[in-house]
Structure 1
Amino acid sequence: MDVDGILSGLNSDQRAAVLHDFEKGSQLLVLAGAGSGKTSVLTKRIQYRIASGMAPEKILALTFTAKAAAEMRERVQALFPDAGVRLCTFHSLALFMLRQVIGGRRAYEMLGFKAAPTPRDSSDREFLAKLSKLHIKAFSREDLFSDSVPASVAAKLEGVRAEVLESGQVVFDDLIHLAIRLLATNEEACAFFHEMWEDIMVDEYQDINPPQYRMVRLLLGDRKNLFVVGDDDQAIYGFRGADIGNINRFCDDFKDCTIIRLEWNYRSVPGVLHFANGIFTNKPLRLRKVLRAGNSRGSGGNPLFRENRDVEIWESDNPVEEMMRIIARMKELREGYDLEWKNFAILVRYNRLRLYYEEALRDALIPVAGVAEDEGETVENGVHIETVHASKGLQYAVVFYAGLAEGLTPGACEGNRRQRHAQLDEERRLFYVGVTRAEAYLILLYCRRRFWKGRLRNMRRSRFLPKQIKDEGFMRMPLFLFRIRVVVGALGYMFLHIPLFLYMSLFKRKDADRWLEYKIQCFSKFCMKILSARLTVLDQANLAKVDWTRPVFVMGNHGSYVDIPVVFLALERKTGFIAKSDLLRIPFLGFWMKRVGCICVDRQKSGAAKTVHEAVRNNLKSAPLIFVFPEGTRSKTGKLSPFKSGGFRFSVESDAIVLPIVIKGTRQVWEGRTAWGLGDVSVRILEPIDVAALKKERGGVLDPKKDLMPMVRKAMEDNL
């Protein structure tokens, strides 16, 4: 089987996950952001392991729904039609395990069953009646066989348990507890299943509950072959018993594990993703993700996607006014962009809100998906009206997210302080799930008044919505004071964070690099704010085509000192750059230049090229990311100055990736600023050039000055 065919179309992070080596990197946690292609990664991992020689029967892949398991099975069998991979839910796996023959006996017989276990829905009334006779209160049927039941209660339940063992009439959660008991108490059975499966994979890892987690740990034993995919930002089933702590503690549970982040979103436009990235502000560094737009063309090339509209917030006095606006915008978008009704969705937190919007659309003669018409047929091409929980895994071109008010989104949180805090965190994650359902256009809806729970109520604006900023106009000040303010602000930011960096380096070394990446982004955003500049990044999807595991040389035009924070924001990565050694003398700047991996040269002396070459060569093992201004000097006109060939020569020698970018507007917001006001800055990411592939196409010979440099210059000139 051609492994290259399996890997084709994957970005560098997806590829790294599929190729992960358990012996070198131990257990793997794939943090898969919304719309990042996690199902594709999981199925390609299975295909890759089979193609590499692993027997399909040795692979166990667990997910939460039979539908998801069937979808993965279909994808795997597209390449390996007869592959015997066990793709199943936790409950079906547990039932399979209990029915196996081990040492001449059925596994369920080892647990005391007289009849084969047969799952059925529980009768709460019957079970509660039995508990009443035993004087047991507040006990769930699903915990009957749990080993966490207090001993005093367990003794009283022996008779009830005996009845189940005699009849075999179990409920689904019994299966998980019984499989755990089998693995934990019977060494022969444990060895049997360790031999049966070598690789264990888990989808939607953030949704597993404590018993399911324990089942996975027992099946894994002391081995390394665990491959899990999940997104802590989409953990929204705490009410079902899912424990987000399992994904948060992964690094503690497996000390030598590897984390790979899938941050390229192939669903939504940058405007939606930018809003989604701002939802979580206090996450642990090791779990922090930044969603990036990996699809520049959008769904079917519809022009609505190319517009990259900002997320809108509509405030209405009442639901009737709001509904009129929704209907008007739907009709406008249908006519202007040739959209079908099924491309629209209205999302709500609670089902009773769903019923209101469903009725309002039907009154307006707009078809609603899944609702039967008078003839009895179910509508397929209609507007989707769903709770956010039901929308998980789905996507729509246009999303109206309704009910952004306290008590609705977030919903009511109850219990003690700790419980309320945990519920509010889950409500925030639910909000994130709703936001990331939108592909091209997201509208957030807030009504000041609405009927709720039987009476008309005044609703407070949701805390999840951005704070309202009063437009008081830009503060006027002389330009020389503005420049002083910017310089003092930037240097002050650098100074204040030096002690924090030293603390991270000394006491939290594992998180230091991630902290630095994050703080560079914070600093760059701060620079844009004090400069009163608005940044637009165009064609960001080209970044998804870069193999970041190799040396990358970013080539950009140079117009201002502001180019550096702009590049940090455009790439959303820590980036070293080639700079004049004179900059090291600026207080605090020199400290941070060294930390981000800058290569400093003295342009007044010979040997600058040698310095750069040695620095790049010495860092090839860590795949350096270097920003180069091939012009060498800042342009005052916006036109490209003559290029220097050094960076191109280093790229060829390193078999690197060359990533051209074009920067506009930076000089106008700093050196060339003539008036106070908001300035526009843009960065366009051009197609990356794989120097190694280009060299191979040309018979192994590539002249950096004659071949590569003109190619990059033309691409940049065409986009200036």
Structure 2
Amino acid sequence: MMSDASRSTAQLSPAQLLAALDDDQRAVAEHLSGPLCVLAGAGTGKTRAITYRIAHGVATGAFAPTSVLAVTFTSRAAAELRTRLRDLGVQGIQARTFHAAALRQLSYFWPQVVGGGLPRIAEHKAPLVAEASGRLGLGADRLAIRDLAAEIEWAKVSLVTPDDYVRAAAAAGRPGAAGHDLTTVARLLAVYEDAKTERGVIDFEDVLLLTVGVLAEREDIARTIRNQYRQFVVDEYQDVSPLQQRLLDLWLGDRHDLCVVGDVSQTIYSFTGASPRHLVDFPKKHPGAQVVRLVRDYRSTPQVVSLANDVLARAGRSRSDAAVTLVAQRPSGPAASFDAYDDDEEEARGVATTISALVARGVAPSEIAILYRTNAQGEAFEQALSTAGIGYLVRGGERFFARREVREAIALLRGASRAVDPDQSMPQAVRDVLTGSGWETQPPAARGAVRERWESLDAIVKLADDLSARRGADLGAFVTELLERAAEQHAPTLEGVTLASLHAAKGLEWDAVFLAGVCEGLLPISFAETPEAVEEERRLLYVGVTRAREHLALSYARSRTPGGRASRKPSRFLDGIWPSSDGGTGVPERARRRARAQANTDALTHGDADPEVFAALSAWRADLARATSKPPYTILHDTTLVAIATAKPKTLRQLALLRGIGAAKIEAHGGAVLAIVAGERPAEALDGGA
């Protein structure tokens, strides 16, 4: 019998890989030669499709692992891709961001092309922009510097030089930046480049520009890279900029072995130079390209999917032909809620109250998010959650691996890995080490810094459990995983409600999502004046809606401050969706919430789920929670119980296909769950929960 470690890393056969996919995903995985365009809607399993495609290519011998370069837009996404491939037993695939891939190549070839080491990369643009601004007598206000830096980035990723800026910016409808006209910004661009040269530094965009220059001018180097990489995969292709596309073209040469994946309905970064044009025009640029649409939404309930489709449908003629209409695959859930409040403070308190109720019913705080258009909106929700005693995390705040307690924990674990007892399990070794740093089995009653420190350490403990269950890793391998994650900023999940802007939420998902401030002036934002800018705001709302798996609440405040003029109206994107023109329903707010809570309960316990199986699972979970002194949701979420009671799996393989059941959960509870579904009493009803 194989050990856990060998079983978790054994490469699956081609037939096993294909059997785990739906028909459309299988079409992606089976297309191993030539150009492939995947139009993948939100929640349709695009990452699964491309990882299984790579694994299938390796398993059949069509791909050599070291010849594949998978390109993503964030370090987190690249790390997730590598992790999934390792879990499928595939090693050696290069999964990197555009910048990381370019930097690796540029660093390697720079001594050959120029000589010496690569110039230092400036960590931040602000000091250089401030210097350039000062030289021109433009002042150095912090917000102005930020806006000018963003405009510099747009120009560079759009392949616009200072000499061409005025013409190109005017054609793109850009008004300049920080109150300065196009001519002034063009001058700033030139002086900024001079300042960099004088300091002997380059910026992040230069990494791509210099790599493009080397590959365009040195055919021998371009040939070396093309011989190395024979297959390319690009995720989030709708966000590609002209500069990134130019680099991709040089990597490819005259070949067409390229798979791109994207969703035009999630194009929300055009202000940074991203363009869906490359995705839409892919079949024209690559004749004979196969186009596969992924439309089956496995993430969200039919209620959430229907709302998302409605938001896009109201775009009318502005909607792209490449957009997909989602088809929900999950059981029915609660209806989306729509709430209008008197002011911002009342909205924040109302959302916090609803979140308290969800947590009491078993939804983990880490599976809840409050999303808003501007970061300034977050402060009211931070205050309301603190008052309600609910922990929260602000996405975009201090990075996980930059926290002092995390750095200290990694150092301690690194030291312990040199003298660990070989008979001790890795998760227990991690617990023993971190107990000396303040970790305990139960969270502290205190909040603030004490609770935050514990949550950081507890996230490391849970990551150890997960890695051990998936790969049977020892302590040394776990430390290596932590160091790799630190380098990639691939943080583990932390307990607490997530607060994030809609832009920052892209690529993430939660059981419950609260979309706040969905009113005119905020969504669309007041400075979205052109039809194109307004439609991008619509897509931003679509992204927010599709982050929700089950619970979705939309709200806005009629006035910004208590007692202020009630002038706000629901977003135009919700015309025909919002219950009434003034945001009200004619039902008192308290009664609406009671009715909504009951509807949520009804949808949770009925729908397509077998009520007897759901009741038996709930009773087992409650007993296990009491026996192990754990909150019920840490064992299995309510939504997972519903999925089990609906699908009624008969094997561990079928169970593993359900959302919320990872390797660690199967290891701990798989046998008991299958016994309950089969109508038997689990032999180890209270085992495996510690």
Q: How does the TM-score come out when normalised to structure 1? A: 0.56
Contact kept, 8 Å, 1:341 with 1:382, in 2: the verdict is: yes
> Which stretch has the larger CA shift, 240-249 or 437-446?
240-249
Secondary structure of the corresponding residue to residue 236 of structure 1: coil
How far 1:141 moved relative to its partner? 5.7
Q: For residues 122 and 264 of structure 2, what CA distance do their matches in structure 1 show?
A: 32
Q: CA deviation at 1:201?
A: 0.7
Higher strand share: 1
CA distance in 2 between counterparts of 1:157 and 1:315 reads: 45
Q: Which has the higher contact order (CA 8 A, sep 6+)?
A: 2
SS of residue in 2 equivalent to 1:233? helix
Q: Does 1:292 align with 2:303?
A: no
Alpha-carbon separation, structure 2, partners of 1:357 and 1:125? 32
The CA RMSD over aligned residues, in Å, is 3.7
Q: Per the alignment, in what secondary structure is the counterpart of residue 287 of structure 1?
A: coil
1:278 aligns with 2:310: yes
- Given that residues 157 and 241 in structure 2 are in contact (C-alpha distance below 8 angstroms), is that contact kept between their aligned partners in structure 1? no
Q: Does residue 106 of structure 2 align to residue 71 of structure 1?
A: no
For 1:488-507, list aligned pairs within 5 A.
Answer: none
**3-state DSSP class of the match of 1:279?**
helix
* Residue 408 of structure 2 is aligned to residue 373 of structure 1: no
Give the conservation status (yes or no) of the 8 Å contact 1:236–1:430. yes
What secondary structure, in the 3-state scheme, does the structure 2 residue paired with 1:68 have?
A: helix
1:31/1:231 contact within 8 Å kept: yes
Residue number in structure 1 paired with 2:385 = 361
Whichever residue aligns with residue 262 of structure 1, its letter is L
In structure 2, what is the Cα distance between the partners aligned to 1:409 and 1:57?
45
> Contact 2:356/2:390 (CA < 8 Å) preserved in 1?
no
State how far apart, in whole Å, the 1-side matches of 2:189 and 2:510 are.
49
Alignment check: 8 A CA contact 1:114 1:166 kept: no
1:118-175 C-alpha deviation (Å, 9 max, x unpaired): 3232454445645876999979665679864256999999998799679863211101
Picking from 29, 33, 42, the partner of 2:41 is: 33
Q: Distance in 2 between matches of 1:38 and 1:215?
A: 23
Out of 309, 333, 336, the position equivalent to 1:311 is: 336
Q: CA deviation at 1:339?
A: 2.6
CA deviation digits over 1:259-314, x for unaligned, max 9?
A: 21111111111011011111113355641312112233xxxxxxxxx5x2222212
The match for 2:571 among 455, 462, 465 is 462
* Cα shift readout 1:101-132 (whole Å, capped 9, x = no counterpart): xxxxx44553x465323323245444564587
SS state of the match for residue 520, structure 2? Answer: coil
Correspondence for 1:426 = 536
The alignment status of 1:238 with 2:265, answered yes or no, reads: no
Aligned to 1:330: 355
Deviation at 1:203, TM superposition (A): 1.1
The answer to whether the 8 Å contact 1:115/1:165 transfers is no
Correspondent of 2:94 among 67, 78, 86: 86
**8 A contact 1:406–1:459 mirrored in 2:** yes
Output the amino acid matched with 1:84. Answer: G
Once residues 248 and 340 of structure 2 are traced to their aligned partners in structure 1, the CA distance between those partners, rounded to angstroms, is 47
Counterpart Cα distance in 1 of 2:294 and 2:66: 28
Instruction: State the Cα distance separating 1:241 from its structure 2 match.
Output: 2.3
The percentage of counterpart residues that share the same residue type is 33
Give deviations 1:232-279, integer Å, cap 9, x for gaps.
111222233222222232233223322211111111110110111111
> Residues 84 and 461 from structure 1, CA distance in 2 versus in 1: closer, same or farther, beyond 3 angstroms?
same
1:266 aligns with 2:307: no
What is the letter of the counterpart of residue 367 of structure 2? N
Consecutive unaligned residues of structure 1, counting only runs of 5 or more, are 101-105, 297-305, 472-537, 541-684, 688-720
Letter in 1 for 2:70: A
| Contact in 2 for aligned 1:60/1:200 (Cα 8 Å) | yes
2:203 is aligned, of 171, 174, 178, to: 171
Q: Per-residue deviation at 1:353?
A: 1.2
Give the letter for the 1:357 counterpart: F
Once the two structures are overlaid, the 10-residue window that deviates more, 375-384 or 259-268, is 375-384
Q: 1:319–1:179: structure 2 CA closer, same or farther, 3 Å change rule?
A: same
Does 123-132 or 246-255 show the bigger shift? 123-132
User: What CA distance in whole angstroms lies between the structure 2 residues aligned with 1:147 and 1:460?
Assistant: 40
Amino acid at match of 1:97: Q
Task: Between 121-130 and 428-437, report the one with greater CA deviation.
Answer: 121-130
Cα contact 2:29–2:49 (8 A) shared by 1? yes
Specify the alignment match of 2:239 in structure 1: 207
Who is 1:119 aligned against?
A: 121
Contact 1:118 1:170 in 2 (8 A): yes
Q: Deviations over 1:646-691 (max 9, x none)?
A: xxxxxxxxxxxxxxxxxxxxxxxxxxxxxxxxxxxxxxx999xxxx
CA contact (8 A) 2:99 2:207 kept: yes
Distance 2:647 2:267 in 1: 36
Alignment of 1:220-619 (within 5 A): 220-281=252-313, 282=316, 286-296=321-331, 306=332, 308-335=333-360, 337-369=361-393, 373-378=447-452, 380-414=494-528, 420-451=530-561, 458-467=567-576
Letter of the 2:31 counterpart = H
Task: Provide the C-alpha distance between the structure 2 equivalents of 1:180 and 1:295, rounded to a whole number of angstroms.
Answer: 45
Matched residue, 2:21: 10
Report what 1:42 is aligned to: 50
Paired letter, 1:461: P
Q: CA deviation at 1:398?
A: 2.2
Aligned counterpart for 2:106 among listed residues 79, 88, 98? 98
**In structure 2, C-alpha distance between the alignment counterparts of 1:145 and 1:40, rounded to whole Å:** 29
Change (3 A) 1:157 1:423: closer
CA offsets, 1:490-532, max 9 Å, x none? xxxxxxxxxxxxxxxxxxxxxxxxxxxxxxxxxxxxxxxxxxx
Q: Distance in 1 between matches of 2:283 and 2:197?
A: 39
SS at match of 1:189: helix
Change (3 A) 1:165 1:199: farther
Q: Is the 8 A contact 2:107 2:118 kept in 1?
A: yes
> If the length of structure 2 is used for normalisation, what is the TM-score?
0.59
Distance 1:354 1:136 in 2: 31
SS in 1 for 2:339: strand
Q: Which has the higher helix share?
A: 2
Question: Is this contact kept in 1: 2:296–2:328, CA < 8 A?
Answer: yes
- What is the alpha-carbon distance in structure 2 between the residues aligned to residue 388 and residue 185 of structure 1? 41
Letter in 2 for 1:98: L
Structure 2 letter corresponding to 1:428: R
CA positional deviation for 1:59 = 0.7
Q: Distance in 2 between matches of 1:225 and 1:97?
A: 20
Q: Kindly state the Cα deviation for residue 428 of structure 1 after the two structures are TM-superposed.
A: 0.8
Deviation at 1:457, TM superposition (A): 6.0
CA contact (8 A) 2:133 2:188 kept: no
CA deviations 1:590-642 (Å, max 9, x no partner) are xxxxxxxxxxxxxxxxxxxxxxxxxxxxxxxxxxxxxxxxxxxxxxxxxxxxx
Question: Matched residue of 2:560: which SS?
Answer: strand
Q: CA offset at residue 225 of structure 1?
A: 0.4
Distance 1:381 1:84, change over 3 A: closer
> Could you tell me which amino acid in structure 2 is paired with residue 50 of structure 1?
V
Q: What is the number of residues matched between the two proteins?
A: 451
CA distance in 2, matches of 1:158, 1:375: 46
C-alpha distance in structure 1 between counterparts of 2:19 and 2:69, whole Å: 24
Give the greater-gyration-radius structure (CA). Answer: 1
Change (3 A) 1:358 1:226: same
Is the Cα–Cα contact under 8 Å of residues 31 and 261 in structure 1 kept in the other structure? Answer: yes
Of 213, 217, 223, which residue of structure 1 is paired with 2:249? 217
Q: Which moved more, 1:32-41 or 1:239-248?
A: 239-248
SS in 2 for 1:356: helix
**Distance change in 2, residues 1:135/1:259 (3 Å):** farther
CA shift digits 1:688-712 (9 cap, x unpaired): xxxxxxxxxxxxxxxxxxxxxxxxx
Q: Residue 345 of structure 1: SS of its match in structure 2? A: strand
